[in-house]
């Protein structure tokens, strides 16, 4: 969505304030995502420490940067 807004700006369809607002929102959401990922990793490490064995996740590897949502990137 941010890319479309940026393209619209270059085509004269959106003003600079709209683009900057969208960029700020992207950065804010990326920061919240990283905070949540950090909390998840800390909780996972604590659980693994308590049980003395690694846990397997059934939803993929949330720590693998190659699986990050590419739409989060401006």
Domain count, the chain: 1
Segment 9-18 mean pLDDT:
91
User: For residue 61, is it within any domain?
Assistant: no
What is the average pLDDT value for the chain, to the nearest integer? 83
Contacts of 16 (CB under 8 A, 6+ apart): 9
| Residue 8 within any structural domain of the chain | yes
**Does residue 1 surpass a pLDDT of 90?**
no
Please indicate, yes or no, if residue 1 is contained in any of the structural domains. yes
Task: Return the structure tokens found at 7.
Answer: 């393209």
Nearest to 25 by CA among 44, 9, 1: 1
**5 in any annotated domain:** yes
For 2, the domain range is 1-51
State if pTM tops 0.85.
no
- Which residues, other chains included, contact 2 with Cβ-Cβ below 8 Å and sequence gap of 6+? 22, 23, 26, 71, 74
For residue 64, pLDDT beyond 60: no
Residue 70 lies in a domain: no
The pLDDT score that the predictor gives to residue 72 is: 47
Main-chain dihedrals φ then ψ at residue 14, nearest 5 degrees: -130, 150
Instruction: Note the pLDDT tens digit of each residue in 21-48.
Output: 999 999 999 999 999 999 999 999 999 9
């Amino acid at each position: 969505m941010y890319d479309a807004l940026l393209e619209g700006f270059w085509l004269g369809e959106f003003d600079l304030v709209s683009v900057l607002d969208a960029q700020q929102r992207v950065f804010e959401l990326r920061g919240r995502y990283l905070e949540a990922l950090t909390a998840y990793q800390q909780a996972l490490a604590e659980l693994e420490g308590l049980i003395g064995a690694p846990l397997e996740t059934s939803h993929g590897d949330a720590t693998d940067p190659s699986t990050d949502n590419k739409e989060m990137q401006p």
